Structure 1
Amino acid sequence: MSVIWHMTMSLDGFIGDRDDGVGWMFLGEGGVSSGLGAEVIARCGAFLCGGRLVDVMGENRPYGGTWSGPILIYTRKDPASKVVPEFTYVSGDIREVVADGLKAAGSKDLVVTGGAVPRLALEAGLVDEIVLHIAPVLLGEGVRYYDSPGVSPTTLKVLTSDGLNFRFAVVR
């Protein structure tokens, strides 16, 4: 049972375009259609993201609906703007939220995704692996994959790579 940061980013390091759009993620090769993406989906017992991702994706289930299970939405504000009844809204310290996510995942992995949630979990020492898909597109601007000025560097070990899909272990 691990905490996996699973994300697709553009070649120039963005997870959302200038309008927070993510349609570009589904163009070209790789991504969740890769063997590595399918492996993450199969191992996923629960999914944790932030409210901003819900604002972008709406009621759509993760992985295009190919996966089902508990979805936790971490929010620091009242989620009343876009409440999706089947999602569980959580707040508080990221350590407690991730612990709740691991409980919800049972014997499987907790997948974290988005911008702020994985960053907070990584900085708290809670992320075990990063699975990253590189989309062959240059966006030029948008939401950065990892933007955390002033923090100490995080060392990663490459576990697998096929050119567009990477699995890293977080070195502690």
Structure 2
Amino acid sequence: MSDDVGDGTGKVVVNRAMSLDGFIAGPGHAMGWIGEYLTPDVVPEVMEATGAMLVGRGTYEVARGMTAQETAYEGGAQFVLTHEPPAEPDPGVVFLTCDIEEAVATARSAAGGKNLEILGADVAAQCLRRGLVDEILVYVLPVLLGDGVRFTPPTLDRIDLEPFSNTQSGAVTMLRFRVPK
């Protein structure tokens, strides 16, 4: 899977775990169900290719409330795009208050030639609207949630994607798409 390993070009990749019915988080933004299926050993090549992560404040707050097992996915330097940084700094996180283009450029630079993973519905939608995304990586998990946070907000316009890979690892189906520029 040569597309998975960082080759020094550093792609911007929207990375999502999704229930079969299209939710990236359950009711109340619950995400603990993801850790039941998606563990670091399921996709080691993705973790290896990741040099930094950019998330929104909401995703950061949800992750802070999760156990270490539920948040086993780590991917280098962590950046949080927010309007209000927390009063108490988090030593493992850089909080950014700039626009989305500057946030992506900052995090991408820190990725050191590896991929920048975009996590969180709002930040991903902003990146997609601005044409900043190279790929979308989706882990389809065998669960129906019935309600929660959708894969994309209803305000995101149509974007045609180019599928280039699908693989199965245990119960997880991984789909990869290029985002045409």
Q: TM-score, normalised by structure 1?
A: 0.86
Aligned equivalents of 1:31, 1:157: Cα separation in 2: 26
Q: Is 1:51 the equivalent of 2:57?
A: yes
Aligned equivalents of 2:76, 2:117: Cα separation in 1: 11
Q: Is 1:94 the equivalent of 2:103?
A: no
Write the deviation string for residues 44-79 of structure 1: whole angstroms up to 9, x where unpaired: 111110111121111877984564521000102343
- What does residue range 37-48 of structure 1 map to in structure 2 within 5 Å? 37-48=43-54
1:64/1:47 Cα in 2 relative to 1: closer, same or farther (>3 Å)?
A: same
1:120/1:103 Cα in 2 relative to 1: closer, same or farther (>3 Å)?
A: same
1:7/1:62 Cα in 2 relative to 1: closer, same or farther (>3 Å)?
A: farther
- What does residue range 136-155 of structure 1 map to in structure 2 within 5 Å? 136-149=142-155, 151-155=156-160
Match for residue 69 of structure 1?
76
Stretches of 4+ aligned residues off by more than 6 angstroms: 59-63
Query: How much has 1:85 moved relative to structure 2?
Result: 2.3
Q: Is 1:6 the equivalent of 2:11?
A: no
Give the % identical residues: 32
* Corresponding letter in the other structure for 1:5: V
Aligned equivalents of 2:143, 2:105: Cα separation in 1: 35
Count matched residues: 167
Tell me how large the CA RMSD over aligned residues is: 2.3
119, 123, 140: which one pairs with 1:117? 123
Give unpaired runs (5+ residues) of structure 1: none
Write the deviation string for residues 9-34 of structure 1: whole angstroms up to 9, x where unpaired: 11111111112111111234x67543
Give unpaired runs (5+ residues) of structure 2: 1-9
Bigger share in helix: 1
